[in-house]
Structure 1
Amino acid sequence: MSVSVVVPIYNEVENIPLLHRAVSDVMQQLGRPYELILVNDGSKDGSNAALERLAQADPCVKVLEFRRNYGQTAAMQAGIQAASYEVTVLLDGDLQNDPTDIPMMLDKIDEGYDLVHGWRKNRQDTFINRKLPSKVANWIISKVTGFPVHDLGCTLKAVRTEIAQELQLYGEMHRFIPILAHWRGARCVEVVTNHHPRRFGQSKYGISRTTRVILDLMTVKYLIQYVVSPMKLFGMIGLVCGLVASLAGVGTLWMKLASGVDMTGNPLLLLTCLSAMLGVQFFFMGMLGEMCSRIFFEVRGMPNYAIRRTWNVEAPAALPLSAGDRRAA
């Protein structure tokens, strides 16, 4: 099984030669065809020159250079799309992940798993601004998504390339790769991996990323549960608003008819009107969401299901072009 190793690089000039040597040693011992894809995410410390020298000296090294810093998620997405081998291994460029864990993860892939993600059980980071927020975030993510996980922040992962290239990563969603892959039907497993203290440079992440992770978690929750049928979410909220409007309306009429209460400025009357308007708006949002969902899948040519394998099944014949399509062609 051939392997593409993808590593985002941002201001890691001291780590690059050590990283290359460590990954090359491991992969050469495995004896599998491999490529090392290094994505320069707008580094400003001389990393680009170091990467260029590596690419010239080692034909297994491929380098992608961004025009500016786009973030780790974009770098991973670019590396995954450039991968040409059967399994993609994601690795940090700071040497805190251990390349010697790669063979163990590939063995899990050989056992039939589609994605193997690491758990830094003995994490070598500061407690207050790294380990504690990570533990809290992982607990919240596990409860919200229903996906059992200890350490979504661990970059070290091995995933079948065909599955990795189905995922569309934005924002800070590289942390949610196992959850997104699981949503697409991938068989995932978490394994304990080594973790080393940083030797050179400074960490690019701190406690400030918490807000972005929470916002992306809301997006992921929507994607894995409601993207195929948004009406289930917005329609349900609309029904609740309609129920509140009905109850408040009945209460308003009872107060007017039974007690003769003046309705001018009555809170129940205002609640009735507000709930009714919100209910209608949420129903229309659900309908628009349903249309957008169908456009999303049809434009990308991606079905809302995933097939693991087939036997004795031929590729479907191409559908005939419409008159408009024929004119465009």
Structure 2
Amino acid sequence: MRPEVSVAIPMHNEEGNVELLYHELKEVMEGLRLRYEIIFVNDGSTDGTGELLKEIAKGDGTVRVVELDGNFGEAAALSAGYQFAQGDWIITMDGDGQNDPRDISALLEMLRKGYKAVSGWRRKRKEDYLSRVLPSRVVNWLIALVTGVKIHDVGCGLKGYRSSLVKGYQIPHGFHRFLPALFGVKDEEVAEVEVNDRRRRSGRSHYGLGRIFEVIRELLTVRFAISDAEGWRRRIHKARGAISLGGVGALILLIFSFNPLTLILLLTMIALASLCLLIERNLLRFIRAQKEGVFRVREVMNG
């Protein structure tokens, strides 16, 4: 019979976390008394993660291992999890052991109440305040401001969705930071659940301070991507052309007659044209992702 719940977990070099995570998750899912499946997406691990996952899948028919043909990133691994999930509800969580599987029941309760998406909220985070918690709060505030979906902790990997919301969705690199807003949900269609945050048990974090600059770059695009990516790409392309033409005119004026105001106008047009180009390229990347996909699969065990 088709599972009621699918748990999809991106994995990249988590050799030291695989077995404990599996046993914890297995115990929780058995206790829920629901038909379930566990999907591990191995995203090009170079340690023993893949071998351990395959051994687990050999002995457990509820476990599927999706082996990607390379390291495509977390966004692509999540997309693969959505694609292969068969359940009515899809739960996603990180593979490093920081998410507590015991919180899954609270997410499912909210989905049963009719919410389209549920996001975990690590209210008491076990990480350094200055390097991780404070930047995260700034990012969360910016994302809520731009998308209109007021989530306290968009970076929490523990999330739940109706399958119909995410099925077949291809997330370009970096855009997973805007889930669930990226799926076009309204603020009132999303619930939050306070979840337990645990310290990483093994390995190292794949995130750093540099991600805040990536988030700002994608923030310039996400609102357009959510509403009408192709339509906005065309409009911004035309606007960039008009601005560039105006910039050429300002440059000609500046060559024949130097004027500080003309220089300011030229620099402003260069900045606006550059911004339009950045947004246009990001939108094109988003559009191509939906058409061409963001990952390739090498092998599926128990598929």
**TM-based fold match above 0.5:** yes
User: In the TM superposition, what are the counterparts of 1:1-329 in structure 2 within 5 Å?
Assistant: 2-183=4-185, 187-225=189-227, 227=229, 229-230=231-232, 264-265=256-257, 267=259
User: 1:114 touches 1:159 (CA, 8 Å); kept in 2?
Assistant: yes
Higher relative contact order structure (alpha carbons within 8 Å, sequence separation ≥ 6): 2
Aligned residues, how many?
Answer: 273
Larger Cα-atom Rg: 1
CA 1:182–1:241 in 2, change beyond 3 Å: closer, same or farther? Answer: same
Identity %: 37
Counterpart amino acid of residue 86 in structure 2? S
Structure 2 gaps of 5+ residues are 292-303
**TM-superposed deviation, 1:133:** 1.1
Structure 1 gaps of 5+ residues are 253-262, 301-329
Structure 1 residues 166-175 or 156-165, which shifts more?
166-175
CA 1:2–1:142 in 2, change beyond 3 Å: closer, same or farther? Answer: same
User: 1:155 touches 1:175 (CA, 8 Å); kept in 2?
Assistant: no
Describe the superposition over 1:114-168 as per-residue Cα deviations: whole angstroms up to 9, x where unpaired. Answer: 1001110001111122111111111121222222121100010010111112532
Describe the superposition over 1:82-116 as per-residue Cα deviations: whole angstroms up to 9, x where unpaired. Answer: 11111110011111101111111101111011100
SS at match of 1:45: coil
Counterpart amino acid of residue 118 in structure 1? G
* Distance in structure 2 (CA, Å) of the matches to 1:236 and 1:44: 45
**TM-superposed deviation, 1:186:** 8.5
* Distance in structure 1 (CA, Å) of the matches to 2:141 and 2:262: 40
User: 1:4 touches 1:89 (CA, 8 Å); kept in 2?
Assistant: yes
Describe the superposition over 1:256-296 as per-residue Cα deviations: whole angstroms up to 9, x where unpaired. Answer: xxxxxxx951649958x979x99xx9xxx9xxx8xx99xx6
SS at match of 1:207: coil
**TM-superposed deviation, 1:39:** 0.8
User: 1:183 touches 1:224 (CA, 8 Å); kept in 2?
Assistant: no
Report the TM-score, using the length of structure 2 for normalisation. 0.77
User: 1:12 touches 1:94 (CA, 8 Å); kept in 2?
Assistant: yes
> Which stretches of structure 1, 4 residues or more, deviate above 3 A after TM superposition?
182-186, 231-244, 266-271
* Distance in structure 1 (CA, Å) of the matches to 2:256 and 2:54: 75
